[in-house]
Structure 1
Amino acid sequence: MNPQQNHFIDVNQLRVGLYVHLDLGWMDHPFTFSNFKLKDEEQIATIKKVGLKRLRYDPNRSDCDPLPMPEPILSPRGPLVEPPVEPVSHDRHQLDPGLRLQELQHALDESEKKFLAAANVAKQVTRNILTQTQTSLQQANTLIEGMVDSVLGESDIAIYAMSGNRSGDEHFNHPLNVTTLALMLSKSMDMSEEHARTLGLAALFHDIGKIEIPNRLLMKTEPLTKAEQSFMEQHSEIGARIAKQCGMSAEVVELILHHHEYADGSGYPKRLKMNDISLLARLLAIVNVYDNLCNPALTNKALTPYEALAYMFAHQRSKFDESLLKRLIKCLGVYPPGSVVQLSTGLHGIVVSVNMDKPLRPFVMVHDPASPTEESQLIDLRDDPSINISLCLKPSQLPEDAMHFLKPRKRLSYFISKDNQIAS
């Protein structure tokens, strides 16, 4: 949008029916999209709570005009002079540990809400891409643009493992996981916004070709026959065709086509080798394999995040761009979010969040038998160098009481948030 096309209004001029643009990072507001038409007073109240004083609106997409500006109330004794506000320290080491852990729990809850909203968008655009193409593409682009703006725009971000029973429709979590992991890597590479958006959109739609694969194959619990596997592998070409038909860019189409191509030539559909595969396609292939190892169709074959990274590095290294694989390990850390661990104190826990700049000192939700079982014990390993992670375990290796308390998920879902929500 050109500057002369911008229309700004005061937050007090908001009314139902206005189409507004929230010029905030996607993680800085609770809405699914940053651009939308106001439907009720609750949305207006939420925008005011976010702290925006003025915002853009689109007259052409609005149902009404903004409210008139309220008249200023002047004091008969002269202009009102507000007392100075003492700045609040955001140094995490100066805050009470209990308060910081409350903030972490709040950040986890907010990230889960964001994830559920994003997962719902992923589900809708996947289901409707053929019947409501333009609307679905607009929703997908808005989602990806918001994620890219937030991920690339924040200097310090953390990646979360979603917990509990609210992670949405698991069938649609894989594309969102792949998108999240791909954008995480894009940030570590200082990728341009344009390339990150291309990567994000391709990641969201990388398996779109599976909508033409019969459910009996997608849901089959026994190993696929050779013929079935060959048919399944066609989803890359089908997806590229669908993406092209829907008007996606040539770059996105190519990424969807090549997301199963591997550096050693063992991939499909064209058996390309390293130099013939674009950097973005090599990146997409790595995060796709990682999430498939953690979240396979058969949950009893799932690897822990720790095992998945170790397996990729020890047994599949030749398939990948090794520099990108090492970057993934560096970003996720030795103990990625979702890892079940034993601390040097002997307590068991789950890694809930990893800061990309300090991946070896994650946040861990701990089971302490001496504490009430209904209370979460969250530990920031950055605060206490005397506590370390001793072991990474399979969920089945947890003691019964720890298993009951921690409830490790059979499937993992990832999401990214700015770290100053949890570390300030």
Structure 2
Amino acid sequence: MLLDFFRTKKDQPKAAGRKPASRNRIKHAQDKKNRFEKIPVDQLRIGMYVRELDIPWEESSFLFQGIDVKTQQDILDVQRQCKHVWVDYTEFRLANNKPDTITNAFTSSNSLIEVEDEYEDALDAHTQARQVMTNIFQDIRLGGEVDVGQIKQSVSGSVDSIMRNPDASLWLTRLQETDNYTAQHSLNVAALSIITGRSLGLSKEEMQNLGVCAVMHDIGKAQLPQELFSKSQLTEDEKALIKTHPQLGHKILQSSKNMYSGAADVALWHHEHVDGKGYPHGLTAEKIPLFAKIVAITDTYDSMTSQRPGTKTLSPSEGLDYLYALRGKRFDEELVLKFIDGIGIFPAGSIVEMTNGEVGIVLSSTKDKLKPKVILILDQIKDAAIQQVIDLSQMTVDTAGKPYQIKTTLRDGSYGIVVDEFQRAGLRIG
């Protein structure tokens, strides 16, 4: 299990350090680094020039000292090997001399506003976007066109909210819209994709484009018989028909004026697998666009963790376990890890059981991925508890003095707790 991996990794003793470098070498390296700015790798952006790593160059995979960051793959290569780098802003290729203050802020948890303060704004943006998507799917069914302006406006609101606090949007992905599943699913995939883009360090414009691709990835389904999506069992012919939605979506988006050019490709290829066993074209990893790889992950995760006819609904952690098990096979390995890093080991809105038997819902993440904030719902004997927020990064033992942490995650509906109903009753988290 993914949870076991992270707990084991955290509890392992630190490996013995590398052979000490000479004092002159250390001093020389330090003098060079003092001339540049040290940043965490999650703030690395296309256009930056990396002068120094936090490991010796000869121990990295890079052939030359100095990295001109030109692609997202360059960023992933650095993030895989380092925690911090030193950037030379005199070589910064972007228009500004340094990353804009907003982008710099949203990668730091200290700069984020609390989820309690963001939730209502996120809900308003979500409600408006859901209506927009409902209208667009209806327009396409009737032979109309995509209102690109409304799509971009809706996605922009989601990006702004996620930049302020992604946990509020994660809460909203737990809403269940059984009467309008496709529209809700599209919004969920967009939010999860934008959060992944945030984890990757994409610019605001890049996240905006990614969000447009994600929210439109299933638009082809609007041209299929809608009764297919409410059936618990499908015939082989019906399954084959549903598998035509990528081509239908590609055609719709290619003909949409002012649509982001990459959206049609994501609609066409979001069911491709990095091992070449996906559809419709059986593309291998190097031929699948970055945004399509991201949407393949977020689409699968939301499909597994949302209630829909004929499927078993998994808990968020079970969904993450599934993705983690197929990293490097069906899904891009680095992007799976970035997705998990973005939404957390225990995503907001997850139902969890504590080591002492108490049950709650994850409110938001903390710097420690294994110790989020939790809203207590049930006590140790599963009776209703006085709802309160517990910060597991601060509270390490229970009232009996025993270690206090999350024991396991639970599926929605466990012990009568339905996250959707909890939210609709009025999310009281303050």
Normalised-by-shorter TM-score class: 0.5 to 0.7
1:349 maps to: 360
1:133 maps to: 145
1:391 maps to: 408
| 2:170 equivalent to 1:158 | no
Deviations 1:49-77 (A, max 9, x none): xxxxxxxxxxxxxxxxxxxxxxxxxxxxx
Q: Which runs of 5+ in 1 are unaligned?
A: 1-91, 94-99, 414-421
Deviations 1:10-56 (A, max 9, x none): xxxxxxxxxxxxxxxxxxxxxxxxxxxxxxxxxxxxxxxxxxxxxxx
Note the C-alpha offset of 1:157: 4.3
Note the C-alpha offset of 1:372: 9.7
**CA–CA distance in 2 between the matches of 1:148 and 1:164?**
19
1:258 to 244, 251, 269: 269
Cα pair 1:305 1:337 within 8 Å, conserved: no
1:376 maps to: 387
Deviations 1:109-151 (A, max 9, x none): 44334322322222223323566636x2111111122333443
Pairing 1:10-409 to 2, within 5 Å after superposition: 105=116, 107-129=118-140, 133=145, 136-152=147-163, 154=164, 157-159=166-168, 160-162=170-172, 169-222=180-233, 224-247=234-257, 248-295=259-306, 297-298=308-309, 301-315=312-326, 317-354=328-365, 357-369=367-379, 373=384, 376-386=387-397, 387-395=404-412, 397-398=414-415, 403=416, 406-409=417-420
Note the C-alpha offset of 1:358: 4.2
Letter in 2 for 1:161: W
Deviations 1:211-269 (A, max 9, x none): 111123222111x2322222111100000101112222331111111111110111111
**CA–CA distance in 2 between the matches of 1:255 and 1:300?**
25
Cα pair 1:338 1:412 within 8 Å, conserved: no
Note the C-alpha offset of 1:395: 4.3
Cα pair 1:259 1:282 within 8 Å, conserved: yes
Alpha-carbon distance change, 225 to 131 in structure 1, aligned in 2, over 3 angstroms: closer
Q: What secondary structure sits across from 1:268 in the alignment?
A: coil
2:45 maps to: none
Alpha-carbon distance change, 343 to 372 in structure 1, aligned in 2, over 3 angstroms: closer
Cα pair 2:193 2:294 within 8 Å, conserved: yes
Letter in 1 for 2:213: A
Q: What secondary structure sits across from 1:158 in the alignment?
A: helix
Note the C-alpha offset of 1:158: 2.9
Q: What secondary structure sits across from 2:295 in the alignment?
A: helix
Cα pair 1:125 1:139 within 8 Å, conserved: no
Letter in 1 for 2:148: L
Higher relative contact order (Cα pairs below 8 Å, separated by 6+ residues)? 1
The TM-score with structure 2 as length reference comes to 0.62
Letter in 2 for 1:230: A
Alpha-carbon distance change, 124 to 358 in structure 1, aligned in 2, over 3 angstroms: farther
Alpha-carbon distance change, 339 to 282 in structure 1, aligned in 2, over 3 angstroms: same
Q: What's the Cα RMSD here?
A: 3.5
Deviations 1:336-361 (A, max 9, x none): 22322111342111223335x54323
Alpha-carbon distance change, 295 to 342 in structure 1, aligned in 2, over 3 angstroms: same
**CA–CA distance in 1 between the matches of 2:307 and 2:284?**
25
Letter in 2 for 1:220: K
1:55 maps to: none
Percent of matched pairs sharing the same residue: 28
**CA–CA distance in 2 between the matches of 1:293 and 1:411?**
21
**CA–CA distance in 2 between the matches of 1:253 and 1:348?**
43
Alpha-carbon distance change, 126 to 309 in structure 1, aligned in 2, over 3 angstroms: same
Residues paired across the two proteins, number: 305
The TM-score with structure 1 as length reference comes to 0.63
